Structures are given as structure tokens and as C-alpha cells.
Amino acid sequence: MPKIEVPEKLFFELCGRTYTDDEMNDIFPVAKAELDGHEDGTVKIELNDTNRPDLWSVAGVARALKTYETGVVPQYDFFSSKDRTMDSADRVHIDYDSCLGIRDFSISFAAEGCTVTEELLVNLIQSQEKLCQNFGRKRKTIAIGIFRSDLITYPIHYIGADPDKTSFVPLGMTEKLTLREILEKHPKGREYGAIISDKPRYPYLYDDKGETLSFSPIINSAHSGAVEVGDRNLFIDISGPILDDLLLAASILACDMADMGFRILPVKVKLAKDTKYGREITVPYRFQQDATCPVDFVEKELGERLSDQQCIDALRRMGIQASVKDGVITARCPEYRNDFLHAVDIVEDIMIGHGLSNFAPVLPAEFTKGSLSKAEEYSRKVKTLMVGMGFQEMMYNYLGSRKEYVDNMHIGDDKVVFIANPMSENYEVVRPSILPSLLESESVSGHAVYPHRIFELGKVCFKDDADNSGTVTRNSLGFLAADNQIGFNEASSYVNTLMYFLRIDYRLQPVEDDGRYIPGRAARVMCGDVEIGTYGEVHPQVLESWGCSMPAIMAEFDLDLMH
């Protein structure tokens, strides 16, 4: 979870009051935080919600506490929206199509009127880093640059530049380097270069005089990117591939800086492609939609009836303007938040805003005791048998890539469940089988003494039109053995031993159409007319795809059909 360190003087100024340690312990849960330490004038805060990046700063936590105690919803007058466009004067930012497919968007805003102190600068950089590292996945989806606005001439230009012909002096160095050389020689280039190193052109930001601002997401220029104590005018640029994430990050920083005393100056951004907001957008921009929740749903989830006004008051203490009409709560999501995905998110804020101590404790009405389920008892029995046959238990992730679960196994994807919005291609598939995980372990175990025998009991998921959800999750056993002389007969002996001790009468049917096995050396295991599993010799193409050097046999069984 994110942790921040804030100077108590600045923190208490933003809160509008001072707190003792006991008081901070009591009130920090309002901001989904806890006190991690308080010494030498520094308050250490641990944030417990990864869906609330607005809280990962001294201003964000202070705003949450102050709003909760006063019940006054913060108001910011610098946001544009679909119904209103703020004046951007001559401040224009132009994205060119040469960056499409590389790092699609760059947006910005400016701030003035507050002298940068040492405390303010440290905390501004801390907020920038938390957003880039946590919310922006180590700059892959969000990179933020803060510049000295007095050195910038509008319009700002964002292009995909030739990495060998474009050069500037990067922050922290005195030597002019090309963009490609920065990836090789600059510490930040070596740390983050993998994000864009394989692209034909690199993201590059410069002003109308040709002065370099930054090579995003790597490093700012030494000319304008070295903010110093005493500066009063700042320019903030945010780049990445997902526009909504960039707009949210811009809103968070703009609200934080406004709370610190800056006046926010909107910038008109001319985007390189059509978006749901059009081709021009003035940043900061409020893009969030109102969220709704039935009042009855609040009572169902919290177990206590709250009046319409109590719900409105509770949400106001969480910084949310709300109204109730015809039994439905409509909440206006604050500009710095975008975490209302379901009615239950509104319920959570009502619960926190109303105060957990205001809910009467209720003892359980029924006495229950925990026990193992039948499925768990059966799984433990199977584990014991597998260990008894000399197999070692493994544990794997449930998400993986298409290459692992489909391509390397030489099977179709008609039954495979894909994630609609994966964080990366490494986590785009819910595993339909345990066997790819076992093969991956075997592929990196060539140095270990043979024979290798490994297994896992876990869940698999695949499409099933008969289920209401369109998918089904099953408990599965998968095992693999590898050795230079291993074959179908040894696989049959393992299966026969397993079925004998599980007291399952079974018969075999040949497998000819499964790309994972060698034709004629694989079988379906049938219990009556129901197929409960398959086993056989692994096809050489599958072994080659995984980089396995030794022959192997493998088997997989549906445990839910076996007991």
C-alpha cells in the first residue's frame, strides 16, 4: 500500500487544525489511512485504498479530514466540462499524430501565485512520484513532468521524434544527448527505457521556441524541468496512453496545488485523434458521471435504515454532493475521484461519513462453526495420494497470457475466458487448465535431477453456455512427470493407482483430436458416460513451444465430477 511522509506544519495548515497522535489514529480511517509514525515533525501515513489516488498526498489526506469534520464540500472553479469551457488565453498544447500508437496523449495545465518552499516542493514531487509509480504503473500509463512556466513559450508541441536526430541536455546532466543515448546513459533512461525503447519514434515535448521540455516518460530537460525553491509559476504535463487516467491525475494535482495556494490556469489541448470528449479539451476537465444508489439498497447493505437527509449529510462529509428523489440517491463524483463503479461504492461512503461508531453493534443471531467442505476434504485426500506417488505440490497464479494458455498448448481459444481490460498481456486470460503452469515449471527446471514429478490442485475457468454467467469454475487436478524414458504406460500406472484408492470405476477412450498430446498415446478417462479427465504423452510441438528438453506425460482431472 502507498505510504507518504508529510511535514506536520504543512499538514496541519491544510487540515485547518492540529491533531494529537490519538486524534489522528481515530480520524485517519475516514481517509482510508492509518498513522504509521510521528516523529521529528514528520507524520508518516499509510494509505489502505489503491482505488483512491487522490488520497496519496498531504493535500489529499488533509482535504478528506477537513471535509469530514466541517461537512463543507470543496469547490474548485477552474474545471471545464462538456457544458462549460474555461478560458485558456494563449495557453495551447498540441498533440501530433506522430505519437499515436507510441504514447497517444499529452495534456497539461499551469499554476501560479504561490511561492515554492522546500516543504511544498518535496511534497509536490512526492505526490508526482506516487501517481506515476502506483496509479501510473511505474510510468507505463502515467508520466508527470513539472516545469518552470516562466521559461516556456506557448503553444506546447508533443510529437513522436526521431530518437537519433533529436537531442537535449537532460535534467541532472550537462551533456547534450540524443533520445536514444539518454536511454543508455541516464539513470532514468536505464530505469524506464523499456517502456518505449522498442518504438520507432520517441515521445518528445517542446515549446514554440523549440526549447525542450521533456522526453516523456523518461526525463525532463535541464532548461525548464528543474523546479527550484522560490519559483512561483509552474507548468505540469501528463502523458500516457489512457486519456481518462491522465485527466484524473491532472485533476488530483490541480486540486492539491489549489489547496496549497496556487491559482490554476487551464490549458487548451488539441488532441491527435477523436475521443469521446472531442478533439479539443481544456484541462483540468471534469469527465466523471453522476452515480446512483437506491435508498433501500443502503439499508440492505448496512442493516440499518438511514433517512434521506442522513444519507445526504454522510456523503457531504465525504466531499460528495448528493440529492434524493423517488427513493434514489444521485451522487456527484468529486473532480478528483473516479472510483464509483457500483452502488455499493456509494454505500461505503455513506457508512464512513455517517460514522462507524453510530451503528449499533449486533450480535450474531445464529451460532455456527467452521468445518471443511466436502470438496476440500476430497482435495486433501487427492493431495495425499499424489504425494504418496512421489509428486511435489506446486501453486500457481490464476491469470496468465494467451501465449501460455493457448498458443503454447496448440489449442483453440473458443472456451477460453479473456479479461476485457487487462493490466497487461501477461494477465489477459483466466487459466482454463493447470497443465500450462506445470509445463512452465518444467521449462525452467532442466538443471534439476530427473525424474521430475509435480502436481497442483486448483481452480480453472472456461466458457459454458449452460451457466447463467456464461462461464464455469471447476476444481481441477493436474500432474506432470518428465524423464528420458517416460511414456504412456507410466502415465497409466499413475492414473490407475489414483483411481484405485479413490474407488472410481473407469474406462478409457482414445484421444485423437487434442493438440496437447501425441495421437494414439493419450486417453480420455470415462466414469460411466462422463469424461472426468485426460492423460497422455505430451506432444513434441508443445514441449518445443515451452522449451522443455525431456519427454513428459501429463494428466488433468475434474475433481468436481469425481466425488
Confidence (pLDDT) at 516: 93
Respond yes or no on whether the N-terminal peptide bond of residue 361 is cis (omega within 30° of 0): no
Q: For residues 142 and 131, what is the distance between their CA atoms, to the nearest angstrom?
A: 8
CATH number, domain at 209?
3.50.40.10
- Please give the grid coordinates belonging to residue 427: 494477465
Q: Are residues 432 and 512 in the same domain?
A: yes
Q: Are residues 265 and 300 in the same domain?
A: no
Q: Are residues 413 and 526 in the same domain?
A: yes
Confidence (pLDDT) at 348: 95
Confidence (pLDDT) at 252: 97
Q: Which residue, 22, 37, 70, sits at the end of a domain? A: 70
pTM of the model: 0.72
In this model, does residue 1 exceed pLDDT 80? no
Q: Which residue, 238, 256, 283, sits at the end of a domain? A: 283
Q: How many residues does the chain have?
A: 563
Confidence (pLDDT) at 412: 86
Candidate ranges 46-60, 142-156, 356-370, 506-520; pick with highest mean pLDDT: 142-156
Q: Are residues 250 and 298 in the same domain?
A: no
Domain region containing 55: 3-70
In this model, does residue 88 exceed pLDDT 80? yes
Cα angle: 306, vertex 309, 52; to 5 degrees: 80
In this model, does residue 200 exceed pLDDT 80? yes
Please check whether residue 85 lies inside any domain of the structure. Answer: no
Confidence (pLDDT) at 330: 96
pLDDT band for 513, please (50, 70, 90 cuts): confident
Q: 482-495 pLDDT, tens per residue?
A: 999 999 999 999 99
CATH number, domain at 56?
3.30.56.10
Span 545-552, mean pLDDT?
93
Q: Which residue, 227, 256, 283, sits at the end of a domain? A: 283
pLDDT band for 530, please (50, 70, 90 cuts): very high
CA 12 to chain centre: 31
CATH number, domain at 467?
3.30.930.10
Please check whether residue 338 lies inside any domain of the structure. Answer: yes
Number of separate domains in the chain: 4
Q: Are residues 336 and 200 in the same domain?
A: no
pLDDT band for 4, please (50, 70, 90 cuts): very high
Please check whether residue 434 lies inside any domain of the structure. Answer: yes
Q: Are residues 141 and 269 in the same domain?
A: yes
| Signed CA dihedral, 323, 75, 123, 282: sign only | positive
Q: Are residues 348 and 496 in the same domain?
A: no
Please check whether residue 369 lies inside any domain of the structure. Answer: no
Asked if 553 and 491 touch (Cβ cutoff 8 Å), the reply is yes
In this model, does residue 195 exceed pLDDT 80? yes
In this model, does residue 65 exceed pLDDT 80? yes
Q: Which residues, other chains included, contact 386 with Cβ-Cβ below 8 Å and sequence gap of 6+?
A: 393, 455, 477, 479, 498
Q: Are residues 107 and 227 in the same domain?
A: yes
Q: Are residues 186 and 106 in the same domain?
A: yes
pLDDT band for 48, please (50, 70, 90 cuts): confident
In this model, does residue 245 exceed pLDDT 90? yes
pLDDT band for 283, please (50, 70, 90 cuts): very high
Q: Are residues 129 and 52 in the same domain?
A: no
Q: What is the DSSP string of 299-330?
A: HHHHSS---HHHHHHHHHHTT-EEEEETTEEE
pLDDT band for 51, please (50, 70, 90 cuts): confident
Q: Are residues 245 and 114 in the same domain?
A: yes
Please check whether residue 450 lies inside any domain of the structure. Answer: yes
In this model, does residue 362 exceed pLDDT 90? no
DSSP three-state, residue 11: helix
Q: Are residues 269 and 123 in the same domain?
A: yes
Please check whether residue 288 lies inside any domain of the structure. Answer: no
Confidence (pLDDT) at 361: 85
Confidence (pLDDT) at 420: 83
Query: What's the mean per-residue pLDDT of the chain?
Result: 93
Confidence (pLDDT) at 441: 94
How far, in Å, are 136, 169, 176 from residue 179 at the CA level? Answer: 22, 10, 10
Please check whether residue 78 lies inside any domain of the structure. Answer: no
- Please give the grid coordinates belonging to residue 542: 508443445
Q: 413-426 pLDDT, tens per residue?
A: 888 999 887 877 88
Span 328-337, mean pLDDT?
95
> Among 32-46, 102-116, 352-366, which is the least confidently predicted range?
352-366
Confidence (pLDDT) at 370: 86
Residue type for position 421: N
Phi, psi for residue 241 in degrees, rounded to 5: -90, -15
**What are the residues facing 457 on neighbouring strands?**
477
Please check whether residue 368 lies inside any domain of the structure. Answer: no
- Reading phi first (left if > 0) and then psi (alpha if -120 to 50, else beta), residue 409 is in alpha
Confidence (pLDDT) at 552: 96
Asked if 148 and 38 touch (Cβ cutoff 8 Å), the reply is no
Q: For residues 463 and 471, what is the distance between their CA atoms, to the nearest angstrom?
A: 4
pLDDT band for 468, please (50, 70, 90 cuts): confident
